[in-house]
């Protein structure tokens, strides 16, 4: 790709129905390059657009979908149980940051960081604290979460496929900044 994404037309915006085909195609490419998600992408549309999704965003570079993230309702994730226990809050105050990916050719230019910020700001406005789990092998994602101030809350074993499992690390989003009115500040 010519030029850095920052110099080009990079837009982070809510996902539309018509983005799903492009996002699914990007996901299939990322599974081939990065092995994400570990369980495979037999049904990329279903994996991206399940009933669990509260909101989703895409990153469009010069009009092309190059990245994606969503906020999902809890569905038995260990990260949710860990944070509910540690913070003493109900699951209804927690959501799961999920389905984060950026095409290899667009990486290293804060596209992932900007997708994360869109999701985190939206969750704060909804009064939800975000958690996630990341496979211990996914070093770039772990680096990104740590840079954005997410905290490690435990580890778990992610089961997939035919009895396989892989170590995963659970994170919680930073504590929201409070304004004088007690509401979180909008970062974008």
- Applying CB under 6 A, the residues found at the interface with ligand COA are 30, 34, 36, 100-102, 107-113, 132, 134, 138-141, 143-144, 147
Report the residue number, 25 or 183, with the smaller CB distance to ligand COA. 25
CB 186 within 8 A of CB 125: yes
What is the enclosing helix (H) or strand (E) of 31?
Answer: helix 20-34
Shortest distance, CB of residue 64 to ligand COA, whole angstroms?
14
Report the residue number, 34 or 91, with the smaller CB distance to ligand COA. 34
Report the residue number, 20 or 116, with the smaller CB distance to ligand COA. 116
Shortest distance, CB of residue 117 to ligand COA, whole angstroms?
10
Question: Order of strands across the sheet with 129-135?
Answer: 10-14, 53-61, 64-72, 94-102, 129-135, 164-172, 151-160
Shortest distance, CB of residue 54 to ligand COA, whole angstroms?
17
d(CA 52, CA 80): 14
- Which residue is at the shortest CB distance from ligand COA? 112
- Rg over CA atoms, the chain: 16
Report the residue number, 20 or 144, with the smaller CB distance to ligand COA. 144
CB 48 within 8 A of CB 32: no
User: How many residues belong to the chain?
Assistant: 188
Cα angle 20, 51, 126; round to 5: 95
Report the residue number, 105 or 126, with the smaller CB distance to ligand COA. 105
Shortest distance, CB of residue 74 to ligand COA, whole angstroms?
16
d(CA 47, CA 51): 10
* Two tokens, residue 43: 């049904």
Report the residue number, 139 or 177, with the smaller CB distance to ligand COA. 139
Shortest distance, CB of residue 106 to ligand COA, whole angstroms?
6
Shortest distance, CB of residue 8 to ligand COA, whole angstroms?
14
């Amino acid at each position: 790709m010519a030029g850095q994404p920052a110099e080009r037309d990079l837009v982070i915006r809510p996902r539309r129905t018509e983005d799903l085909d492009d996002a699914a195609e990007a996901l299939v490419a990322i599974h081939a390059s990065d092995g994400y998600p570990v369980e495979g992408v037999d049904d990329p549309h279903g994996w991206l657009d399940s009933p669990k999704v509260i909101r989703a965003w895409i990153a469009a570079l010069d009009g092309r979908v190059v990245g994606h993230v969503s906020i999902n309702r809890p569905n038995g994730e260990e990260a949710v149980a860990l944070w509910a226990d540690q913070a003493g809050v109900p699951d209804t105050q927690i959501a799961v940051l999920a389905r984060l990916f950026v095409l290899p050719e667009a990486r290293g230019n804060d596209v992932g960081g900007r997708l994360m910020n869109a999701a985190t700001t939206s969750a704060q406005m909804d009064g939800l604290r975000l958690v996630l789990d990341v496979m211990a092998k996914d070093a770039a994602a772990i680096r990104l979460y740590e840079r954005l101030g997410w905290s490690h809350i435990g580890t778990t074993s992610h089961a997939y496929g035919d009895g396989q499992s892989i170590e995963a690390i659970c994170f919680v989003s930073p504590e929201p900044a409070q304004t004088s009115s007690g509401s979180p500040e909008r970062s974008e």
